[in-house]
Structure 1
Amino acid sequence: MIKTVKKSQNRNWFMDLLLDETICAGTVAVPREMVRLAGGVNKRLGAKQKYELLLRIAAETPVEFAETGEDACGQENMMVFDDVETPENAGMGWRTDCYVLGKYSAQLQEAGYFNAAIEAVLAEAQMEGRYEETVSYLEGMIGHKEEYYRIDEAAQPILIYKGDPVCYNILTIFAEQLGAALERRGERVLYFDQEEHDPREIIQFKGRHFKAVIGVQSCAFSIKMEDEAHYLHEYIYGPKYNFFLDHPIWGKPHFEHHYPDFHVLVLDQTYADFFRRFYKQDAILFPPAGMEAGEDSVERIYDLSFIGTYGGYEVQLQWIREQERPLRFLANRFLLTMRKYPNLTAEAAFSRTLEHYGIELTDEKFVEKMYAVRRVIYGAMHYYRHRVIKTILQAGIRLDVFGDSWTHCPLRKYPNLICHPGVTVEEGLHVWRQSRMSLNVMSWHKSGFTERMAGIMMAGAVLVTDNTGYLPGRYDENDMIIFDLEYLEELPGKIKNVLGDEEKRCRMAESGREKTRREHTWDKRAEQFLELLDNR
């Protein structure tokens, strides 16, 4: 027989367990959802993890044990715990005892057992020859010093900011996808919806501790206190992670803050390098993942699709023309450099621009000057998007596009450009399922990987993409069609070659899908994120 945790009306069980850990000796089965809602197993405790978990559960919900058969161990909705401790943690249970005393000191004092519990822990320490070490550690736990919170935060919820409506709600979708994946791994997730609530309401979390605080291109991390000297998130405790999916130059106003344990998650290694050098922020390569549209079999009615806007190259040219002479010259040279050397990062192209004029700048001034001409990056992106698509159309390849931006664009004159109404993110997934191939033109992410790339491959379409430094060692031309912006004349032949050989297309699509399902799902990202937390 094993013990199974079940809800009850016995509110005394928590205190009974707190005073006598032998109550939970032996094998114990706990409902998986109960474990998740309590914050999961605290892996920062070296020993007695089962005991501490049961205390957390009982502190929130009256529970008790029921005797059940061995078959409870095999149930999918149950987690099973025993008393086995790893050899390296043998004899470390006293640290958990100290932590428990610190966490539940108020309850023990109210019940009149606090002093007795302290005496018991110290008496054991005296017997085992670690009295001074125990006194020091216990003081830190009762006083809720840094080590106490390092342990305690591991069992707190993960706070996720969502609600940004940008780009068909894609940022909110990312937040929800990651949150759902974390919940599937047993994490407790708390959302703050910035679309439904005034961002200033985040003040409600002031003073709280979290396992992590996550934003997706969120401005919340730069909210200041009334004194204009401190940031709100200096007082919301726990490691903070902000996904930033664009070139870092666009985030300049939001990354001038510096407070402990703040990290940026980026989709491009060169962006991580930029954050570290120019903003002095810790940055981690952590690209977004793909989503699947379902397993139902659909007809692939599009040879080649493209889900994206046409862009606005002329709009950026007009902006350049409107600038004062020195800035206009600088922006124009920057654009010419990016057009001439399309495999350079934006910052490398800007460095060449400054060299052309003999300008030397400190890192701080470099960022200021680049920020002033940041719209040029959009100009270069749109210029090459136009060229890629024009090259495809001139070769007579049919291209199906989606959205209003294509209705009056200059490429509309090509009869093989087939325009469709715009699609939501979810509808876009279905379009990829209906596509034999789908095009991706990088938004100047020279070493990046995007959710579009992952989603196309997970849909079973062959990805057609310009090259990026992220691909070598991860993908090759057995998985996708890779082209070089400097040699666009080669692209039509590559597309026609695969479209003309369905067996080859299927092999490529399946190879790309298999690799992507292994490495680029949100479940994989949740696993990697928790590893980040564990390795801090």
Structure 2
Amino acid sequence: MRHKIVLMIGGTETLEYFSYQLKKGFEALGYKTFLFDQTMEEESAEKLYTFADPYDTILVTFNFDGIHYETSLFGADGISIWNKRKIPCVNIVVDHPFYYPELYEIIPDIFYNIYIDRYHGQYLKKFYPHIKCGPFLPLGGTSIYPDGNFPDINIRPYDIIFTGNYTPPEEFDQYIMRNGDEYADFYNEIIDDLISSPDQPDDTVIERYILKEIPDADKGQIRKTIPNMIFIDTYVRFYFRGEVVKALIDNGIKVHCVGKGWNRLCCRHPENLTYTSDVLSQGCLEALSQSKLSLNVMPWFKDGAHDRIFNSMLNGAVCLTDHSKYLDEILTPNKNVVFYDLKQLEMLPFIVHSLLSDKEHLKQIQQEAFKYASENHTWHQRARMLHEGLLKFI
């Protein structure tokens, strides 16, 4: 068993925050850790070469950070420290794998891909069967009140909050129209299919339409074609974010959004929407601790979870979320979570009114959710899952 773990910071702020949380979990398990700061690449690389012993070190990273772009980690011979010192690279991909087709073609010698949605795992095993995949690792949550002593429901200033950015779907029209009307019709047909049946994984729907147009397309062709349509994933993601928030604010329910772009949401009653931009991960947790309800719209993880769910539970905001196969397996409706249906958004205002009118029930869900998430879904638990499921064997 190896005893040292390298984690990456200094890139995407959210991923840095996850790395800091995993660091605590790994250290609690007895690992020595090193944080490679991508904003101080040369200095960090010098320290890394001292820390990273061959056959005793593992890189645990998110979205390929540290694997391909940091020139200081490659020698004059073009060989990376990971390959030269036989260091396994454990890559947790927090997006769909189809966002990274070029990177999957140039992986390190010892490489493990961790997926956060079981459909993502199926995609990888189908199109990249040579890559070691797993275990499945849902995103984890963080509490700023680990003892459960968070603000009482009755004194929280926000009724309902959403943490996440927004981009108007029409921003993606440039990609839909880039190849002319025939392609635009093809893309819009896929988008309409996903919107009308939102329980489908988008890669399987895209593949189905490719095969409808090109019946003899092989796996290699499909693998190369799907990433050219990733704008469909972002389109439907932001479409539903907007529709879910509008279903509330246009029916008289005030919603506070924490994230960029919400000033661009077209709605009938903008007076019911407030927003705060440029908030980092810690600020999102603090905002959750000030809200009675936390709205979640899954980013097309149809067999996984989002950290927004567990962050809500761990900071005392009752989570109101749409479904996924995984969430339906692990959560208990009206006990530790409240579900709504993307196909029945007209019911969402009634669900919210019902919850806000029964504070005692809210408190019961709040307490059950905190207990459940604290025991099962923190980043400390994710560190242990990685250790038990993979790290202790490599």
2:287 corresponds to which of 419, 423, 431 = 431
Matched with 1:187 is 31
Counterpart check, 1:506 vs 2:357: no
Alignment of 1:41-60 (within 5 A): none
1:216 corresponds to which of 62, 79, 82 = 62
Counterpart check, 1:282 vs 2:140: no
Matched with 2:203 is 347
Rounded Cα–Cα distance in structure 2 between residues aligned with 1:196 and 1:239: 23
Distance change in 2, residues 1:186/1:200 (3 Å): closer
Distance change in 2, residues 1:346/1:198 (3 Å): farther
User: Would you say how many aligned residue pairs link Structure 1 and Structure 2?
Assistant: 379
Rounded Cα–Cα distance in structure 1 between residues aligned with 2:284 and 2:160: 14
Look up the equivalent residue of 2:324 and give its one-letter code.
T
1:297 corresponds to which of 141, 144, 151 = 151
Matched with 2:40 is 196
- TM value normalised by structure 2: 0.88
Question: What is the Cα deviation at residue 347 of structure 1?
Answer: 1.0
Rounded Cα–Cα distance in structure 2 between residues aligned with 1:276 and 1:343: 21
Matched with 1:357 is 213
- The answer (yes or no) to whether the contact 1:160–1:192 under 8 Å persists in 2 is yes
Rounded Cα–Cα distance in structure 2 between residues aligned with 1:170 and 1:430: 15
Matched with 1:257 is 106
Rounded Cα–Cα distance in structure 1 between residues aligned with 2:56 and 2:98: 29
Matched with 1:534 is 392
Rounded Cα–Cα distance in structure 1 between residues aligned with 2:276 and 2:325: 32
Alignment of 1:14-93 (within 5 A): none
Rounded Cα–Cα distance in structure 1 between residues aligned with 2:6 and 2:260: 36
**What's the secondary structure of 1:374's corresponding residue?**
helix
Look up the equivalent residue of 1:289 and give its one-letter code.
G
- The answer (yes or no) to whether the contact 1:339–1:380 under 8 Å persists in 2 is yes
Alignment of 1:76-115 (within 5 A): none
Rounded Cα–Cα distance in structure 2 between residues aligned with 1:439 and 1:341: 21
| Cα deviation digits, residues 21-74 of structure 1 (max 9, x gap) | xxxxxxxxxxxxxxxxxxxxxxxxxxxxxxxxxxxxxxxxxxxxxxxxxxxxxx
Matched with 1:161 is 8
- TM value normalised by structure 1: 0.66
Rounded Cα–Cα distance in structure 1 between residues aligned with 2:282 and 2:89: 29
Rounded Cα–Cα distance in structure 2 between residues aligned with 1:413 and 1:353: 37
Rounded Cα–Cα distance in structure 2 between residues aligned with 1:331 and 1:155: 47
**What's the secondary structure of 1:513's corresponding residue?**
helix
Computing the radius of gyration from Cα coordinates, the structure with the larger value is 1
Question: What is the Cα deviation at residue 340 of structure 1?
Answer: 2.4
- The answer (yes or no) to whether the contact 2:23–2:33 under 8 Å persists in 1 is yes
**What's the secondary structure of 1:196's corresponding residue?**
helix
Rounded Cα–Cα distance in structure 2 between residues aligned with 1:410 and 1:272: 36
Look up the equivalent residue of 2:187 and give its one-letter code.
A
| Cα deviation digits, residues 463-510 of structure 1 (max 9, x gap) | 011101111331021211112212222222222211111111111111
Question: What is the Cα deviation at residue 155 of structure 1?
Answer: 4.8
Aligned Cα RMSD in Å?
2.5
Rounded Cα–Cα distance in structure 2 between residues aligned with 1:195 and 1:411: 40
**What's the secondary structure of 1:328's corresponding residue?**
helix
| Cα deviation digits, residues 349-372 of structure 1 (max 9, x gap) | 102322443533211211211111
| Cα deviation digits, residues 384-440 of structure 1 (max 9, x gap) | 111111112232221112344122321374321123344221111111111110111
Rounded Cα–Cα distance in structure 2 between residues aligned with 1:411 and 1:283: 43
- The answer (yes or no) to whether the contact 2:295–2:320 under 8 Å persists in 1 is yes
Alignment of 1:102-501 (within 5 A): 154-164=1-11, 166=12, 169-198=13-42, 201=45, 204=49, 208-222=54-68, 233-280=82-129, 281-284=131-134, 285-294=136-145, 295-297=149-151, 299-324=155-180, 327-411=183-267, 413-477=269-333, 478-501=335-358
- The answer (yes or no) to whether the contact 1:221–1:232 under 8 Å persists in 2 is no
| Cα deviation digits, residues 117-173 of structure 1 (max 9, x gap) | xxxxxxxxxxxxxxxxxxxxxxxxxxxxxxxxxxxxx35421222221x2xx11111
Rounded Cα–Cα distance in structure 2 between residues aligned with 1:200 and 1:349: 43
Look up the equivalent residue of 1:275 and give its one-letter code.
L
TM superposition outliers: structure 1 runs of 4+ over 6 Å: 224-228
**What's the secondary structure of 2:324's corresponding residue?**
coil
Look up the equivalent residue of 1:297 and give its one-letter code.
P
Counterpart check, 1:524 vs 2:381: yes
| Cα deviation digits, residues 82-113 of structure 1 (max 9, x gap) | xxxxxxxxxxxxxxxxxxxxxxxxxxxxxxxx
Q: List gaps (5 residues or longer) in structure 1.
A: 1-153
Rounded Cα–Cα distance in structure 1 between residues aligned with 2:108 and 2:27: 28
Rounded Cα–Cα distance in structure 2 between residues aligned with 1:207 and 1:360: 49
Identity across the alignment (%): 22
